[in-house]
Amino acid sequence: MKSKQSPDTLFDALALGYETMRKELAWNPFTHIEAAFDGVDLRGMEILDAGCGTGECTRWFAEQGACPIGIDISGEMCFHAAERSENIMYLQHDLRDPLPFASSRFDAVVALGCLEYIADIRATVEEFYRTTKPGGMFLGCFERFGDDCPGKNARQVVFFDEWMRYRQSRTMIESMFAQRYRHVDIEPVAGFLIEETGETTQYWRVIAKDAMGMAE
């Protein structure tokens, strides 16, 4: 029997050619970054890029004058990110574990192309909120589940024949953000192409602004 490959070793194997593969799979995280940060002066903002991969978005934030930190489950992803960057911190970290940062550390948390691999998504989102400053924001994509979504009958989908992607309903998304941020925009958007099936994943894009803060 084939042993199950863990997410970190799977993405380790993809790291070297990840940025090329991302484009081939028609996944463009910058579309979502532009939607969330249009008109925002990023200079001096502390930003957590969760699931940073090889640091494409992390580098972009740094180029705009922000102070980003990238974290990823894959050590190889972090290695290649660091090779392509200057003066950016990258940490290998599993988003299923508590974040290694103080509360109210970041002006914004960005999580694109990674949240669908987490079963206990509430705990992860709570950690994002804990580490966001009052008045801060969150940008993330969650794989969709619901009546208007292809594959609506499956909350969990086998990926790479070994491990799962987890889909979320709009109701679930609202329950995680409505009481934490004063402005929450949830929009259905296309995700990435799965070559084996020809399917394009479907996401909820969440832009949550003006975090209330842990004391409220």
Cβ-proximal residues to 90 (8 Å cutoff; 6+ apart), any chain: 52, 55, 58, 69, 70, 71, 72, 78, 81, 82
Alpha carbon distance 150, 50 (integer Å): 27
Asked if pLDDT for residue 69 goes beyond 60, the answer is yes
Q: pTM of the entire structure? A: 0.86
pLDDT at 192: 80
pLDDT per position as a tens digit, 37-48: 999 999 999 999
Distances in Å between the alpha carbon of 32 and those of 54, 107, 108, 149? 18, 17, 14, 19
Asked if pLDDT for residue 36 goes beyond 90, the answer is yes
> Which domains occur in the chain, in start order?
7-211 (3.40.50.150)
Asked if pLDDT for residue 4 goes beyond 90, the answer is no
What tokens appear for 81 in the block? 């990110």
Asked if pLDDT for residue 64 goes beyond 80, the answer is yes
11 or 160, which is more confident: 11
166 or 96, which is more confident: 96
pLDDT at 157: 52
pLDDT per position as a tens digit, 166-214: 889 999 999 999 999 999 999 999 888 776 667 788 899 999 999 997 6
SS (H, E, C) the chain: CCCCCCHHHHHHHHCCCHHHHHHHCCCCHHHHHHHHHCCCCCCCCEEEEECCCCCHHHHHHHHCCCEEEEEECCHHHHHHHHHCCCCCEEEECCCCCCCCCCCCCEEEEEECCCHHHCCCHHHHHHHHHHCEEEEEEEEEEEEECCCCCCCCCCCEEEECCCEEEECECHHHHHHHHCCCEEEEEEEEEEEEEECCCCEEEEEEEEEEEEECCCCC
Cβ-proximal residues to 59 (8 Å cutoff; 6+ apart), any chain: 84, 85, 88
pLDDT at 152: 45
